[in-house]
Amino acid sequence: MSSDKGMGRREIGGWRLSKRLGKGGNGTVWLAQKGGQKGAMKILQATSLTAKKRFHDEVKSMRLCAGIAGVLPVFEAQVDPDEPGEKWFVMGLAKVLTEKLGSRSTLHTVVEAFAAYAETLAKVHELKVSHRDIKPDNLFHYDGGWAVGDFGLATFKGKKAVTGGGRKIGPIYYLAPEMLNNPGRADERCADVFSLAKSLWVVATGQHYPLPGSYDLAHAAFGIGSYVSGERGVAELDRLIASATAFEPSSRPTMKLVGEELRAWLAPKTEISMPINMDFREHIAAIEKWQDSRVRAAKSQELRGEAIKVVKNRLYNSLIPSFSGLQESIEKALKINVAIDTNPQNGFVQLRVEAPAEQNSEAFLFLTLDLDCESFPTVSLQGCIMLEWRSKAGFFNLIWNDSYDFIEGGADEAVKLDKLRSDMTEAMVDALSKSLALVVTSENTPELAKSMSVTVRDSRGEMLDGASVRVVDMEGITLANVTAVNGVAEVNLSMANKVLIFVAHSSFKSTVITQPGADNHVVLFGGVRSGSMVCGDSWVGVRGLEGDLGFMHDEIKGRIHRLYVNLKGLSGNGGEQGAVHLSIGKPVRLKDRAGRVVFITPRAVVGKNFLIDFEHADDY
């Protein structure tokens, strides 16, 4: 192996070496001069037979392309692997592309260079030669034009494989996916197209490396316009690069077509004559960028929408048997009507149980699942059970709700779905028992105690001071309002009617006692952002929010009930003013003038009495 030491004073083959220009894995490149001609001499340092054969093939591939102006010429070479002595060759002295362009080149100049490279490589491909190592470091400016060099990995017709069949071939950051694991079966011409497109993106954007994978128009990070401002036509280049980096090699354009596309981009745009002369050229680039962002967003939304449809159908098909099983079991056990309502496209499934209610009223128990793909591929399945007793006063109660989040198709999906099936079955049995006891008149119903206590604890078992306890009858009449002291509220009633007890706390979520006895115990859950309140038909405020709310419950002909909240100094659900519709268990987003956001969720309603949970979007 030759040493670099003292090389500047050496001559090889009559070429005098004066300055080292670069060094690679197998060799070094020196500035060389012979007579009046300058060149770049590449000297092989590796001594293995494999390295010598590859070095020989590099020169052979360049000489096969000697008739192409855009390929660096070989002036002289000594590369026969079977002959003794150093292996070297001298090629044209060129500047690396990025060095020639500098930091202030325009997009037009960059495209001019790559149009020339594409045209050169198209001619190389016609000779059955593929470069396989396209990257900015191997693209040059030579003798007044743009030239391709470094054919060390090139392949040509009749070449014997030197690299092992299972090894990757090509520049790692610019490498086409098919060249990673099985290059022996790949069409190297398509791989060259992929690598040239990646190189164009890097040089056009000024980034050090390309983003990995195929160029995805759905994401702004891939757009040249995200890095270059004030340039026209970036959307056209984006589409070309996206096509040239398609995962499937057969979906990429040929190198010839890439060159034609780039030449068309460079061609002067035909001005459209207008009846009135208007010059908005300074705004065209910004308008094109805006239009491209809209197209990108639409494409992303379209692809996302199709994927979500497939997921919703799949999850629907996996859950509907559980609903059918519940339907059959309830019908057999209670001999009552049970129906299933579905909308697979919206990710909605609902089990509706009609309970035998008192005269002049209707009662339904709803088990509902909603599939939320807002953060897809994270999926959220939201389950709830709600009682609707459509009596004159009307009673609506959220009995159970929970959320099951998982990555679509991930390992946790099956676990969460199994838990959902188990939880909703257990919750439905409990909800049926409580609801039937409430809505069905029975001679065996025990008489209500006139004196009751309600003990309120948190999830750690500690007594909660300051909880609001409201006792209401089934006609919506408030019978008692009590505040828990040291976690206990004492209630004395003058009449022993069927009643409900609403329990709320400013720092915890609420609950409802539907079958109160003499001694009642509840556990409230919550956190620093949570709270709840019991409201009537007067204006109320929410802790940490500037503004007032007035809750309304309209009853029409005893069967149709509508719930609203009137807003004062607040907006609802992103801009609604005045009266905003409410649904049990569905949050409403409220925002005050200071920008603070709170979500309120009706948990239960009877007559004019509302039980409301709230949660702050941020700490306050």
Q: Structure tokens of 63?
A: 């000489």
pLDDT top residue among 194 and 451? 194
Residues sharing a CB contact under 8 Å with residue 285, sequence separation 6 or more, in sequence order: 229, 230, 231, 232, 234
Residue 162 has pLDDT above 70, yes or no: no
Q: Is the pTM of this model over 0.85?
A: no
Residues sharing a CB contact under 8 Å with residue 66, sequence separation 6 or more, in sequence order: 73, 74
To the question of domain 451-616 being in CATH 2.60.40.1120, the answer is yes
Compute the Cα dihedral for 481, 396, 540, 592 and give only its sign.
Answer: positive
| Residues 473, 479 contacting (CB under 8 angstroms) | yes
Q: Structure tokens of 612?
A: 């409301």
Per-residue pLDDT tens digits for 439-485: 876 445 556 778 899 999 999 999 999 999 999 998 899 999 999 99
Q: Which numeric CATH code is attached to 321-439?
A: 3.30.380
Residue 239 has pLDDT above 90, yes or no: no
Residue 202 has pLDDT above 90, yes or no: yes
Residues sharing a CB contact under 8 Å with residue 215, sequence separation 6 or more, in sequence order: 197, 201, 222, 238, 241, 242, 244, 245
The rounded distance, in Å, linking the Cα atoms of 502 and 491 is 12
| Residues 17, 8 contacting (CB under 8 angstroms) | yes
| CA quadruple 137, 138, 140, 143: dihedral, nearest 10 | 140
Cα angle at 272 between 271 and 276, to 5 degrees? Answer: 115
The rounded distance, in Å, linking the Cα atoms of 479 and 607 is 13
The rounded distance, in Å, linking the Cα atoms of 509 and 445 is 30
- 102-268: CATH, from 1.10.510.10, 1.10.8.10, 2.60.40.640, 1.20.58.100: 1.10.510.10
Residue 102 has pLDDT above 70, yes or no: yes
Q: pLDDT at position 620, please?
A: 43
Q: Structure tokens of 175?
A: 């490498």
Q: Of the given ranges (221-235, 452-466, 527-541), which has the lowest mean pLDDT?
A: 221-235
Q: Of the given ranges (276-290, 369-383, 599-613), which has the lowest mean pLDDT?
A: 276-290
Compute the Cα dihedral for 372, 373, 374, 377 and give only its sign.
Answer: positive
Q: Would you tell me how many other CB atoms lie within 10 Å of the CB of residue 132?
A: 25
Rounded to an integer, the average pLDDT of 140-169 is 80
CA distances 160 to 47, 63, 155, 521, Å, are: 19, 17, 9, 84
pLDDT band, very low/low/confident/very high, at 2 (cuts 50, 70, 90)? very low
pLDDT band, very low/low/confident/very high, at 325 (cuts 50, 70, 90)? very high
The rounded distance, in Å, linking the Cα atoms of 365 and 604 is 14
pLDDT above 90: percentage of residues in the chain: 55
Mean pLDDT of the chain: 86
Q: Of the given ranges (217-221, 326-330, 394-398, 477-481), which has the lowest mean pLDDT?
A: 217-221
| Residues 330, 322 contacting (CB under 8 angstroms) | no
Q: pLDDT at position 412, please?
A: 80
Helix (H) or strand (E) holding 350: strand 348-355
pLDDT band, very low/low/confident/very high, at 1 (cuts 50, 70, 90)? very low
Per-residue pLDDT tens digits for 26-39: 789 999 999 889 99
Q: Which numeric CATH code is attached to 7-91?
A: 3.30.200.20
pLDDT above 70: percentage of residues in the chain: 87
Strand partners, 23: 28
Rounded to an integer, the average pLDDT of 49-56 is 91
The rounded distance, in Å, linking the Cα atoms of 393 and 606 is 6
Q: Of the given ranges (40-49, 349-358, 599-608), which has the lowest mean pLDDT?
A: 349-358
Residue 45 has pLDDT above 60, yes or no: yes
The rounded distance, in Å, linking the Cα atoms of 224 and 592 is 40
Q: What 3-state DSSP class applies to 357?
A: coil
Rounded to an integer, the average pLDDT of 219-241 is 85
| Spans of all domains in the chain | 7-91, 102-268, 321-439, 451-616
Per-residue pLDDT tens digits for 404-423: 988 787 778 888 999 999 99
Return the top range by mean pLDDT from 189-198, 230-239, 358-367: 189-198
| Residues 217, 302 contacting (CB under 8 angstroms) | no
| CA 561 to mean position of chain CA atoms | 39
| Residues 439, 504 contacting (CB under 8 angstroms) | no
Rounded to an integer, the average pLDDT of 181-207 is 92
Nearest-CA neighbor of 601 among 592, 616, 593?
Answer: 616
| Residues 78, 85 contacting (CB under 8 angstroms) | yes
Q: Of the given ranges (85-89, 216-220, 509-513), which has the lowest mean pLDDT?
A: 216-220
| Residues 432, 330 contacting (CB under 8 angstroms) | yes
Rounded to an integer, the average pLDDT of 16-25 is 87
The rounded distance, in Å, linking the Cα atoms of 398 and 396 is 7
